[in-house]
Structure 1
Amino acid sequence: MGARKKRAPRRGSLGFSPRKRASRLVPRVKSWPEVDIGKPVPLAFLGYRAGMTHVFMVDDRPGRPTSGKEIFVPVTIVETPPMFVAAVRLYGYDPNRGRYSLGEAWAQPPPELELQRRISTLGSFDTDKMLKSLEERLDKAVDVRLIAASQPKLAGGLSKKKPDLLEIKVGGVSDVTKLFDYAKDVLGNLIAVNDVFEEGQLVDVIAVTKGKGFQGVIKRWGVKELPRWHKHRKGSRRIGARSHGRSTFWETPQAGQTGFHRRTEYNKRILMIDDDGYKVTPAGGFLRYGVVRSTFVMLSGSIPGTPKRPIVMRWAIRPPEWYLKLGVRKPEITYISLASKQGV
């Protein structure tokens, strides 16, 4: 009989500790990529997760055994109604305190947006006066952001009316003046997902994962359960010494909140952007969502969150080497499954 194993890789990453509930349902984007494409462009967009299906497409990734062949790909559908640009905000930079706001200019939102449901103190604004004030501080600005409001009433699977707000960085060029001119042009107007992304592009998905409540160490950390012999009659899920009390190591797996965490998944490829939601809506609609009625984005693979959850898509901050060499290429989709998902 061999010697008993005394070491094992740790279960569960400590990089996500503390595993507590997300503070907000619409995640704030904390990092932005440096983009240089020669024209200003918003670097993120907000949509709502509808559900999953699958497609067949031609694999155009180089160096793969399936390159040039038809492959099966699971996909996630995110409904992305146009967003209303409600405000422009400028940021300055100070070495001692980092970025700080130089001011913002708000546009009067249309009544059908019902933005007062989200901002109860919303009043009338003198947009021209505030824009002029921002132009006077433009020499101190290092960053231009848009505050955009979603339109959930246009999404087919949502019943809520309250819009979600997202602060979006404007990138594409390094000249702050050009960025500010672009922000002034789109202030008070609608931006579509086509204005931000294109088919074949890689994006990062930021969302809040599915909540699972209070769970034990087996499900929360993936530790191994002890064999249920007579010597373990006091508990097969016990962790061991210093697992309780004041002397507990912080690295010790403990029971607690599982799921409903803010997470980022990198390099999800956009396979399709279209205005006809019936191209991807399965028979009977998506489970717990319904029919996609406005513009949608088809992403390869799975993403965090439940149906109807707000999803933030951002320009890829660390794309792979093959993508940097070949650039954006429109994928060739040969088949989209519309089979019913109600019995799954």
Structure 2
Amino acid sequence: MSSPRRGSMGFYPRVRARSIRVRVKSWPSIKEAVLLGFPAYKVGMLSSILLDAYEKSHLFGKEVIKACTVLEAPPVYVLGLKLYKKEMGALKSLTTIFSKDIPKKIKDHLDITTKSNKDLSFIDEVKDHIAEIRTIVATQPFLTAIGKKKPEIFEIKIGGELNSAIEYAKRIFGKEVSVKEVFKELSLVDVIGVTKGKGFQGVVKRFHVKVLPKWHKHRKGSRKVGSIGPIEPSLMRFVPRPGQMGFHRRTEYNKLILQIGEDPNSINPKGGFKHYGLVKNNYILLLGSIIGPPKRVVFLRYPIRPQKRIWKYQLVKIVT
């Protein structure tokens, strides 16, 4: 008797993420000069009443109830610019320019050095050598109700052609950028973050291994694999074994933005969101669920493999 192997091999090694602040490894190409991503804090989930506006849907013109996720997105502060050059076919750091007017609430809690003897005029001097320009932004968690002061630092690429990206970077350097300047409603985003941590778990919960029958000759345990391998080879890498479960870095593709709102009172429950509190800033409503517990920072990125067909919904009402 044999059965299909348990668990996916697409997520090896199943280890803890280095940090809840994720590093984005790849960026899409778009024509518009705009930040290609934006960080936000997960709040919780709500129910929403939507009008199905997709003509080929069997529910066209009818109201449907869908679950949605609330994200709080306070404005980010652009505290620096990162310039890259092409060398041997790869991107190499050219220089980093930091703002000299970083707000005290952000600067007091930074764990990076912001000293720089360069200013924006240096960009024009090395313009011929620049291959890519990115922004260094800091979140402002002290504007939220999560009780956190230390900001997360992200490096975000700017879309569009190089010249327009440079002009856009100069325009937002040392200023705040809101989520409404980056994303639009009824567009798709990728959600990158760290999942809920489950700790050290056995093979049944971690890999969904079948529980062995508890009959009278059964003496070596039931919540374990029947065999972990032969004598040789000495190591079998892909046999289900106990270990870390959760707190993994994951990417979820093509989440639909239902709404980007400025009035948090329209979504706040009477007693606040469970394990979070009250939303105080701009918020984002995403269709469906996303990874991570409440208060965790997630990164929203322009879709790197967008769907050709996007479901068309009109938001009718939010059920708090």
Say whether 1:139 aligns with 2:128: yes
Say whether 1:169 aligns with 2:163: no
Say whether 1:83 aligns with 2:81: no
| Stretch deviating more after TM superposition (238-247 or 285-294) | 238-247
- In 1, distance between residues paired with 2:88 and 2:76? 34
How far does residue 44 in structure 1 lie from its aligned partner after superposition? 0.2
Match of 2:174 in 1: 188
Contact 1:54–1:336 (CA under 8 A) maintained in structure 2: yes
Match of 2:222 in 1: 236
Match of 2:40 in 1: 47
Say whether 1:72 aligns with 2:65: yes
- Partner of 1:10, secondary structure, is coil
- In 2, distance between residues paired with 1:213 and 1:9? 26
- CA spacing shift, 1:66–1:281, aligned 2, 3 Å: same
- Partner of 1:31, secondary structure, is coil
How far does residue 135 in structure 1 lie from its aligned partner after superposition? 2.5
Contact 1:225–1:236 (CA under 8 A) maintained in structure 2: yes
How far does residue 64 in structure 1 lie from its aligned partner after superposition? 2.5
Say whether 1:20 aligns with 2:29: no
After the TM superposition, which segments of 4 or more aligned residues of structure 1 sit over 4 Å from their partners? 243-246
Aligned with residue 26 of structure 2, among 25, 31, 34: 31
Say whether 1:212 aligns with 2:169: no
- In 1, distance between residues paired with 2:178 and 2:230? 53
What letter matches 2:141 in structure 1?
A: P
How far does residue 15 in structure 1 lie from its aligned partner after superposition? 1.2
Unaligned runs of 5+ in 2: none
Say whether 1:160 aligns with 2:148: yes
- In 1, distance between residues paired with 2:302 and 2:3? 38
- In 1, distance between residues paired with 2:316 and 2:220? 58
Say whether 1:249 aligns with 2:236: yes
Match of 1:100 in 2: 92
What letter matches 2:315 in structure 1?
A: I
Say whether 1:7 aligns with 2:2: yes
> Where in structure 2 are the equivalents of 1:312-331 lying within 5 Å?
312-323=299-310, 331=313
Contact 1:116–1:122 (CA under 8 A) maintained in structure 2: no
How far does residue 108 in structure 1 lie from its aligned partner after superposition? 2.2
- CA spacing shift, 1:276–1:243, aligned 2, 3 Å: farther
Contact 2:204–2:224 (CA under 8 A) maintained in structure 1: no
What is the alpha-carbon root mean square deviation over aligned residues? 1.9
How far does residue 332 in structure 1 lie from its aligned partner after superposition? 1.7
How far does residue 146 in structure 1 lie from its aligned partner after superposition? 0.5
State the TM-score, normalized to the length of structure 2.
0.94
What letter matches 1:154 in structure 2?
A: L
Percentage of matched positions with identical amino acids:
42
Matched residue count: 319
Deviation track 1:230-287 (CA, whole Å, cap 9, x = no partner) reads 2322111231333598723101011000000001111111111111111111221100
Contact 1:51–1:78 (CA under 8 A) maintained in structure 2: yes
- In 1, distance between residues paired with 2:55 and 2:110? 46
State the TM-score, normalized to the length of structure 1.
0.88
- In 2, distance between residues paired with 1:201 and 1:333? 14
- In 1, distance between residues paired with 2:152 and 2:107? 9
> Where in structure 2 are the equivalents of 1:282-293 lying within 5 Å?
282-293=269-280
- In 2, distance between residues paired with 1:110 and 1:86? 6
Contact 1:118–1:163 (CA under 8 A) maintained in structure 2: yes
- CA spacing shift, 1:282–1:19, aligned 2, 3 Å: same
| Stretch deviating more after TM superposition (132-141 or 252-261) | 132-141
- CA spacing shift, 1:109–1:235, aligned 2, 3 Å: farther
Deviation track 1:303-328 (CA, whole Å, cap 9, x = no partner) reads 101110001000011111113xx9xx
Going by fraction, where is helix more abundant, 1 or 2?
1
- In 2, distance between residues paired with 1:95 and 1:67? 54
Contact 1:115–1:162 (CA under 8 A) maintained in structure 2: no
